[in-house]
Chains A and B, each alone.
Chain A
Amino acid sequence: MKRLRIAVFGYHKLGIEVAKHLAPTPCELLVIDSSDDNLARAAERGHATLKCDYTDDLELARAGIGRDIDLIFCLLPDEAQNVFLIISARVLDERLTIVAVSDSPGSEQKLRAAGADKVIDPFDIAGRRISDLLVRPTVVDVLDQTVFGAADLEIAEVAVTREGRLAGRRLLDASRLAGGTLVIVGLVRSGLERELRFALEAPEYVLTPGDVLMVVGPAADVLAFRAEAAAGDAQRAI
């Protein structure tokens, strides 16, 4: 599988965090900033860096936008700069995935209008998390310590493929196939509708290629399940 190439624009408060969490994942990361100081700090932490003036399309193209960058994060300190960057990048590359961060209530619409695919609202997320801590402390605790923590449990997406063993089965049977150790939480149906449906809402649903299952379970079992889903029949044929 081709490694995702990601560019992070802006190495400030947010950029530092994003780069820190992206670095250990399987992707190629490039930190882009117009300030030498910020770039020096990024280099200290071992990130690949590039100095670039985001207002200049030529420089953006030189950074790889429109060529081999798959995804960019727009984390510049000023919203107007972000909007400018999003529009410039969108013009250069139609298929680029653009992720932006909103810092005020009205800015999400603006960023989306400029062409961002995904807008993250840090304050909204933090607020939700705080209220989760208040309303369901046990659940948050358990999830933090298992799924998000050091424990072996993980949450993963498994795609239903044409040749895999999952296609054509009912959702109910798919969970049996998972060997009893995985919990199938939900699925996203193939097609335009990208909305998550919960497994227990539609146990009779028949899986079709292109669906994505969301499962939780021990990492090893998730891997095994994924392998089986991807090429179950093919393996048996061999």
Chain B
Amino acid sequence: MTAAPAHHLVRCCYALAASPGYRRTKRFAYDLLENPASRLRPYFDMAMCALILATVGLIIHEVKNPPTPFTLVFEDTVMYVFIAEYLARMWVWNDSHRLVIEAWERAELLGLPFRLRPVLAALLRQKWAYATQPMAIIDLLAILPSYRPLRTLRFFLLFRVFKLFRYTRSINEFARVLAEKRFEFYTLATFIGFVVFASATAIYILEAHVETSHVNTLYDAVYWAVITIFTVGYGDIVPKTPEGRLVAIVLVVIGVAVISFSTSIVVNAFSEKMQTMRDRRLYADTEKLHDYVIVCGYGRVGEVVVDRLVATGTPFVIIDRHAKNILRAKAQARLAICDDAVRAELLGQVGITRGAKSILCVTGDDVTNLYITLTARQMNPHIRIVSRANKSETVRKLRLAGADHVVMPYEIVGLMAAEYIHQPVASMALSGILSGERGMAMDVVLVAAHSLLDGRRIADIGFAARRLTLFGVLAAPGAVQRPALIRHPLADGRDFYFNPPAAFTLQAGDQLIVLGRELSIQHLRAQVEASALARRPA
């Protein structure tokens, strides 16, 4: 009966699935070996490259020198590292225990007896799929020659050089680009094979019986044909008969054509792929950013926003469909991708679900802005979306699509105009303060629990001495109403107390909106944080 071992296996698999330690270990191994977004992986790759180069150096050294005990120990250590890596890669390739559990649950559900053999076969099939990958085969070939009875296979140690492919991104890209031209290369190879075969046969038939000729075997003939068609022409074998020379003439002409054709395939493949390769580099750059802003559209509005993002040190990535705008951004060394932000795939690649904090849809076209807004909202329900509307009808549509804020340049002009003609100074001043001109700013200071602000009255804090003006207090969510002259309930349910009286008491979680020099605000904020840490009850 296979029932007993099968049950043990299933129980074992459930235990593995439930164990957080196992999951953590596997996760770590995945991060180290495979995860392209992992931070550990580059270091691991570099270490492996160094190890490989060291062993290859050792092999070269041993050609003329006898091995020392140290080199032998080193060889063995490296081999164990390689074996461990091979097995670890096989381990993280798939989740075998899950396969067993699925099979078990399916059997349970359908009321069928659980049979071990098909499950094990499926497991082996999956691992076999791993082992037959080109990279896995190279890994294996790099390990095998270290096994002592197979020492004659030392030649295969050179496969360790190929192992370097695994750890370098650019070589991988090179291979991928060439792989896309598979059809052209097949055609070319077939053609070359045919020409080599025909000319080798011809020269063999024509010259094998000639006394002075060096073509003695068919292998000689093939060697000559290959050396000639690739225009190397060592000259160790030369045709002696006029018929043989005619074959050589034809072969050299075809050879030049073959070489130029293959060059053009490679060049073409790269020129086609260069843009996407560059873009991939850009995506890799965005992966390093955190809490960044995606700016869709680098027109007039986009440029103003980005200028100020640069000034405040906020990281960002620009997407624009027009090459002209992208050139302008790149001239200022800004991270910019020339593509259509309408594509959901692109938004995913720049990390809308990963590290992005906000997305700005500020192209000049309302239809595009609306579409990007909708896509972004579907992909990430929590991201902050700011959209630009050029027509007033679009404002409501953008809000429906999920924009948090809608900015309308033309409406702003209207508002500004109305404000300006009646109160030129005030309207300018407020916008100036908001954007932090001349070092003055309006900003938020959080009342941290147990800090010097928590539980204090406004009068005791001494805003005037700090060279700050208290504009108002935004009460903590759910806070009890406090007596104050002017209270405004905001849309999110919090109360805003404008210019609260001296007896007003602050609570933890309140946000002060203060006006003053940026330095003074930062100083107050630092003091609040320091006092919150110092007075925190143990």
The digit string for A118-143, where 1 denotes a CB below 8 A from any CB of B, is: 10101111111111111111111111
Bound: A187/B416 CA distance, A:
20
B432 at the A/B interface (Cβ < 8 Å)? yes
A63 at the A/B interface (Cβ < 8 Å)? no
B499 at the A/B interface (Cβ < 8 Å)? yes
B152 at the A/B interface (Cβ < 8 Å)? no
Quote the shortest CB–CB distance from A111 to chain B (angstroms): 14
Residues A118 and B314 in contact, CB atoms below 8 Å apart: no
Residue of A nearest to B442 (CB): A139
Q: Which of A33-41, A45-53, A80-88, A198-206 contacts B (4 or more CB under 8 A)?
A: A198-206
A191 at the A/B interface (Cβ < 8 Å)? no
A76 at the A/B interface (Cβ < 8 Å)? no
Inter-chain contacts of A201 with B (CB < 8 A): 467
Quote the shortest CB–CB distance from B303 to chain A (angstroms): 7
Most buried by A among B392, B416, B422, B464: B416
Taking a contact as CB atoms closer than 8 A, the residue among A132, A138, A186 that contacts B511 in the complex is A138
Bound: A129/B432 CA distance, A:
11
Residues B464 and A200 in contact, CB atoms below 8 Å apart: yes
Inter-chain contacts of B491 with A (CB < 8 A): 145
Inter-chain contacts of B418 with A (CB < 8 A): 18, 21-22, 25
Quote the shortest CB–CB distance from A67 to chain B (angstroms): 19
User: What number of A residues sit within 8 Å (CB to CB) of B?
Assistant: 73
Residues B511 and A129 in contact, CB atoms below 8 Å apart: no
Inter-chain contacts of B430 with A (CB < 8 A): 143, 147, 155, 185
Inter-chain contacts of B420 with A (CB < 8 A): 99, 118, 120
Residues B474 and A130 in contact, CB atoms below 8 Å apart: no
A227 at the A/B interface (Cβ < 8 Å)? no
Inter-chain contacts of A218 with B (CB < 8 A): 486, 498
Residues B467 and A200 in contact, CB atoms below 8 Å apart: yes
Quote the shortest CB–CB distance from B134 to chain A (angstroms): 47
Inter-chain contacts of A180 with B (CB < 8 A): 485, 499, 501
Sample (24) of A-B pairs whose CB atoms are under 8 Å apart:
A18-B417, A21-B414, A120-B413, A120-B417, A123-B301, A125-B431, A126-B304, A127-B300, A127-B302, A127-B307, A127-B308, A129-B407, A132-B434, A133-B386, A134-B293, A134-B314, A136-B442, A145-B496, A151-B488, A157-B426, A183-B498, A185-B430, A186-B429, A200-B516
Closest 9 A/B residue pairs (Cβ): A127-B304, A17-B414, A123-B300, A21-B414, A126-B409, A131-B308, A21-B418, A122-B409, A127-B305
